[in-house]
Homo-oligomer: A and B are copies of this chain.
Amino acid sequence: MQEFIYDSTSADEHELPQDELDSLLAHWRAANYLAAGQIYLMDNPLLREELVPEHIKPRLLGHWGTVPGLNLVYTHLSRVARIRGQNALCVWGPGHGGPSVLANSWLEGSYADIHPDVSRDGAGMARLFRQFSFPGGVPSHVAPDVPGSIHEGGELGYSLAHAYGAAFDHPELLVACVIGDGEAETGPLATSWHSNKFLDPVHDGAVLPILHLNGYKIANPTVLARLPQTELYDLLRGYGYRPIEVAGDDPALVHRAMAGAMARAMGRIDEIQARARAGSSTERAHWPVIVLRTPKGWTGPVEVDGVPVEGTWRAHQVPLSEVRTNPDHLRMLRDWMLSYEPEKLFDEDGRPREHVLRCLPEGALRLGSNPHANGGLLLRTLPKPPLEDHAVEVKRRGGSVRSATAVLGHYLAEIMRLTADRRDFRLVGPDETASNRLDGVYAETSKTWQEEILPVDEHLSRDGRVMEVLSEHLCQGWLEGYLLTGRHGVFSTYEAFAHIIDSMANQHIKWLRTARELPWRAPVASLNYLLTSHVWRQDHNGFSHQDPGFIDHVLNKSPEVVRVYLPPDANTTLVVAENVLAGRDNVNVVVAGKQPRFDWLSLEEARAHCARGAGIWEWAGTESAAEPDVVLACAGDVPTLEVLAAAQLLRLHLPELAVRVVNVLDLTRLMPEKEHPHGYSDFDFDALFTRDRPVIFAYHGYPWLIHRLAYRRTVHPHMHVRGYREFGTTTTPFDMVVLNDLDRYRLVMDVIDRVPGLARRAAALRQEMSDVRTRHHAWIRVHGDDLPEVTEWTWEG
């Protein structure tokens, strides 16, 4: 087990020529200088004038602690890219790493490529400094604004999952990933280490985690930094890695060790890839990890106001906090920045001197210019298999039942087949692909699995492009990394448990919202959620599995980015899938149940319905030329079924009532056109829902969401919404809708209650509807199943 423990203090790779070491040190010092300058200075960038309080920003909003370590990694990863011509990108995990990565991209020139005004000279340096964490400038994270970044690091926990996502299906790529020891305490990061069980050394690139133990978070030591070394190594070996340690605080020694560690790591990666690609090993690889121990705030102020700062949590943010008002602090800042000897790093015009840049690669090999970090540049259009080959035939509405996700599974299989060589499409999910009836996809690919495969196993292979792991965090993180580096994918999951990645979805939506505004960022493929096993069919799993609120969650976010679709049957599900898979820079939520359900629309009708997003289903209603007496609206597969059943009951019992049936497939159609690009104008909305007729709306999720979307519409005071109201348990499917008053009988009662004049005329029908609900209740408690009149119901169109 211990064959590959490296020790950074002994190996000969450390024997760097002195001039190369000098240039690495110079580059690192320059980056440190530029990072400190961004945090503090709004003028006098080269300190050629006496430093005065007016040069200092009024609000000091930056984080120094992590910077020197990130600069060390940037320097040495750049060197590897240069020496080896290595295609490399880095995921910068630590929060607020912006000053470091911005400094480095300025040094290598990738920043000026996209922002010519922030040029590689004194004037550009002044702009670089001033804009940082300044109104109208750039934020302090490694946000979309930062070239070379695919990971903001604002919310911690996802760096390593993103790195793996970037490496999948990029066999020539090296993805380094700096993991802060704070981030390492999060759950998502703790399980991300296991991603190595899903990375195929033949078809995927390499991930090189660099665990940066600078010892402290905001106010505390970190769990991993305080472990005895043997225990930490046990942990990393247990995760399947082979640690290489670099530790120290003497810059020259650490740079030597880091160069050696990178060389050893790359050697190990070469060996793993060569053996796997030659077919001489199918054993799971044990990849290297670099453990980097350097002081927090290294090379910054050692002690401030009598307390230690460098190497403690006090260096986390700004080590000197009173620079504008305390002359001692101002002097310490000057001394600190001058300690990097800027005059040796930058020429008279503020340009980096030649030896500072000697370790850097050119062109697209620069970390800030690698197209993988601007994945839209690499994105290829996904094949669009003809839907005709997968659509279901609808001879008679409601005449057949199909699982929409099963139909979709075969369509996804076809996309898998068409991308078998390109390998730019993946399906991720937490152990639920088969449970969600998408297993048709296994006809064309398998689940990726690098551990032992036993004869009893099914659909496992080293190179599969379905990814299953019981961690929604990993699924989401992998897919984000995959999409942001220019590929396509779908995340299928139980509806309720999408909330596990609420916060990750937030961050991805925020990323896309910001990236959309940056002309140099090419659009990437949309992130597509397929929420199945939804609230209404969690009768068997019970209350804990019932939650339709992910829709509410995403609809709070930027409307440019978010879309929500509720296809009511198999063909609409296919059309929606085709649409969202072709999308760019969106987050699409598609809710489609996995249980067999009626087919309503032919492919042609489905296309027309999806294009409209919402529409009148004339064939289901009874209205004639005039305005209807009532509108029965529905969104979602189960509500659609209940509305159609209610419409049928009304047609049978109250044939004179003019009923309009409206199906809403694109939920954002309900929003005002000023608030969402898909929003209907009032004119179009009124044309569907009328201005003053009672609207009984059966909605898939929490009913108040419909009110929040539609409260400005003229008809809103007449809208009555039924939906899930957090009433559920282990029971039957129909009991779920009864418990939440969404059932067909209740909807008929709602119509009777709300159409003027109907209450008296239809009192008997109302009583009958109420009785059948009571009968249902009694029946299921005896028989453990739904009434035959529900389970055997058919549409009579």
Residues of A within 8 A of B (CB): 1, 42, 57-59, 61, 133-141, 143, 152, 154-157, 182-183, 185-194, 197, 217-223, 226-227, 230-240, 308, 311-312, 431-435, 447, 449, 451-452, 454, 456-457, 460, 468-474, 496-497, 499-500, 502-503, 506-507, 510, 513-514, 540-545, 547, 549, 552-553, 556-558, 702, 704-705, 707-708, 711, 716, 726, 729-732, 735, 780-781, 783-785
Which residue of B is nearest A237, CB measured?
B234
Residues in chain B near residue A61, CB distance under 8 A: 540, 730
Contact B143 A544 (CB under 8 A): yes
Residues in chain B near residue A219, CB distance under 8 A: 431-435, 468
In the A-B complex, the 4 residue pairs with the closest CB atoms: A235-B238, A154-B544, A187-B187, A234-B238
9 A-B pairs (CB sep. < 8 Å):
A143-B543, A187-B187, A187-B471, A222-B470, A226-B451, A499-B502, A506-B549, A552-B553, A707-B708
Contact B545 A154 (CB under 8 A): yes
A733: min CB distance to chain B, Å: 9
Which residue of B is nearest A555, CB measured?
B704
Asked if A549 meets B553 with Cβ closer than 8 Å, knowing A190-B187, A707-B708, the reply is yes
Q: Give the docked Cα–Cα distance between A240 and B141 (Å).
A: 33
Contact A220 B186 (CB under 8 A): no
Q: Give the docked Cα–Cα distance between A141 and B183 (Å).
A: 33
Which residue of B is nearest A432, CB measured?
B218
Residues in chain B near residue A185, CB distance under 8 A: 191, 194, 469-471, 474
Q: Give the docked Cα–Cα distance between A140 and B312 (Å).
A: 50
Q: Give the docked Cα–Cα distance between A451 and B225 (Å).
A: 10
Residues in chain B near residue A784, CB distance under 8 A: 42, 57-59, 134-135
Number of copies: 2
Q: Give the docked Cα–Cα distance between A654 and B541 (Å).
A: 61
Cβ contact of A197, chosen from B42, B154, B223, B233, cutoff 8 A: B223
Contact A143 B183 (CB under 8 A): no
Contact A1 B556 (CB under 8 A): no
Which residue of B is nearest A543, CB measured?
B510
A776: min CB distance to chain B, Å: 10
Residues in chain B near residue A503, CB distance under 8 A: 496-497, 499-500, 502
Contact A544 B221 (CB under 8 A): no
Residues in chain B near residue A708, CB distance under 8 A: 704-705, 707-708, 711
Contact B470 A155 (CB under 8 A): no
Residues in chain B near residue A731, CB distance under 8 A: 135-136
Residues in chain B near residue A460, CB distance under 8 A: 220-221
Contact A221 B138 (CB under 8 A): no
Contact A140 B234 (CB under 8 A): no
Residues in chain B near residue A190, CB distance under 8 A: 187, 190-191, 193-194
Q: Give the docked Cα–Cα distance between A135 and B780 (Å).
A: 6
Asked if A234 meets B449 with Cβ closer than 8 Å, knowing A186-B470, A705-B708, the reply is no
Residues in chain B near residue A431, CB distance under 8 A: 182, 217-220
| Among A138, A194, A781, residue most surrounded by chain B Cβ atoms (within 10 Å) | A194
Asked if A227 meets B471 with Cβ closer than 8 Å, knowing A187-B189, A434-B218, A544-B510, the reply is no
Which residue of B is nearest A136, CB measured?
B781
A784: min CB distance to chain B, Å: 5
Contact B239 A553 (CB under 8 A): no
Residues in chain B near residue A231, CB distance under 8 A: 1, 237-238, 240
Residues in chain B near residue A452, CB distance under 8 A: 226
Residues in chain B near residue A558, CB distance under 8 A: 726
